[in-house]
Amino acid sequence: MKALEVNNIVKTYQHFNALDGLSFSIRKGEVYGLLGPNGAGKSTLLRCLLTLIKYDSGSIKIFDKELLHHRKSILQNVGYLIEKPDFYGYLSANKNLEIMGAYSGKMISAKRIEEVIEKVGLKGREKDKVKTYSHGMKQRLGLAQVILHNPDLIILDEPNTGLDPSGIVDLRNFINQLKAEGKTVLLSSHVLNEIELIADSMIILNKGKALVQGSVQELLDENELHVKIEVSNLENAINILSNTACNNHLRTISSNMLELTMQKKDIAGINRILVEKGIDILSLNYKKPLEELYMNLTKTNIHA
């Protein structure tokens, strides 16, 4: 069963296509990564899924129900956190969750609120006004309101923003836990490493269109690693490497840097060969697979 099906969706703002015939689907129970540069249409897509924005044409089905015709029953089963976590700052976390519970269309008990507060690690601060919270705490509260009504589809838009390293790890664990519970998660992020680590499938958007989509494992082919090596003697290094299997995948970048295309497992061997032959390795690096893919597809600079 598909948790989400987007078919040929179009959204136009004046003369600009924010979404341009986009189609993709998400299987039930998987974590799906949504990637793309700024202005690619990620936020527009997420807002369309939540009816915050009306799309011009196409269709969206969530759990096999047409969104526009079954909006109420669908959204009762969707939890989301779009952009930064904003709440009623003049109210406590408890009160905010009570309000969110009322808006969820389901009866949410005080016990359930207590449960989610504990789950996201806000126990002890639930009676404090949200305006006194740090960003990380607000993010936790954001996640609390996402799962409060036990939805089956969870939409998260850049949940890592502003989190410290431990917060990022907690978030990763949180998403993994949701996955273990059988929830479907649609995760939009700029943190490619996180998508690589937790997503089952993904899509890369640009200018409202899908550039590539599919299983993360299938898309990230480690055979295509481009390794850049800075050496003390370029000519000698080239001569040495020309006698190896990498000969056909060698190119010079600058007066002391060359680039090899190889598998990751072969990097150590090449390094050893050069060092044994008296070539000093000044630096060696390669782009991560997803980053490589992303950069190739979008041709923009990003900061992971």
Partner 1 sequence: MLRLIKVELFKIAARPRSYIGILAITVIVLLIHMAMLADGKSFLSFIFSTFSQTFDIQGNILNGNLIAFIVLQMLVMQMPLLIAFVTGDIISGEAADGTLRLIAGRPFSRTRIYFAKYTASAIYTAILTIWLGLMALLLGRILFGSGDMIVLKSDSLTVIRSADVLWRYMVAFGIAFLSLLLIASFSFCISAFSNNSITPIIICMGTIIVFTIIGTLDIPFFDYIKPFLFTTHMIVWRDMFYDPLQWQDIIISVSIIMFYIILFTGIGWYHFKTKDILI
- Selected from 65, 84, 112, 226, the binder of partner 1 by CB under 8 A is 84
Residue written as tokens 């010079």?
252
Nearer to partner 1, 205 or 225 (CB): 205
Residue 10 burial (CB count, 10 A): 15
Asked whether position 47 contacts partner 1 by CB under 8 A, the answer is: yes
The pair of three-digit structure tokens given for residue 102, joined into one six-digit string: 């009322």
Stretch touching partner 1 by CB under 8 A, among 60-68, 100-108, 256-264, 285-293 = 100-108
Per CB under 8 A, the segment of 79-87, 160-168, 212-220, 266-274 that binds partner 1 is 79-87
Interface positions, 123-152, toward partner 1 (CB under 8 A): 145
Work out whether 45 is an interface residue with partner 1 (CB under 8 A): no
Nearer to partner 1, 186 or 241 (CB): 186
CB neighbours (10 Å) of residue 56?
13
Residue 12, φ and ψ in degrees, nearest 5: -115, 135
Is residue 303 helix, strand or coil?
Answer: coil
Each residue 233-272 as x (binds partner 1 by CB under 8 A) or -, in order, gives ----------------------------------------
Query: Each residue of 188-216: b (16+ CB within 10 Å) or e?
Result: bbbbbebbbebbbbbbbbbbbbbbebeeb
Contact call for residue 232 and partner 1 (CB under 8 A): no
Work out whether 15 is an interface residue with partner 1 (CB under 8 A).
Answer: no
Quickly count helices (H) and strands (E) in the chain.
Answer: 11, 14
Torsional sign, CA 209, 215, 218, 224: positive
Task: List residues binding partner 1 (CB under 8 A).
Answer: 47, 50-54, 71-73, 75-76, 78, 80, 82-84, 86-91, 95, 99-100, 102-105, 145
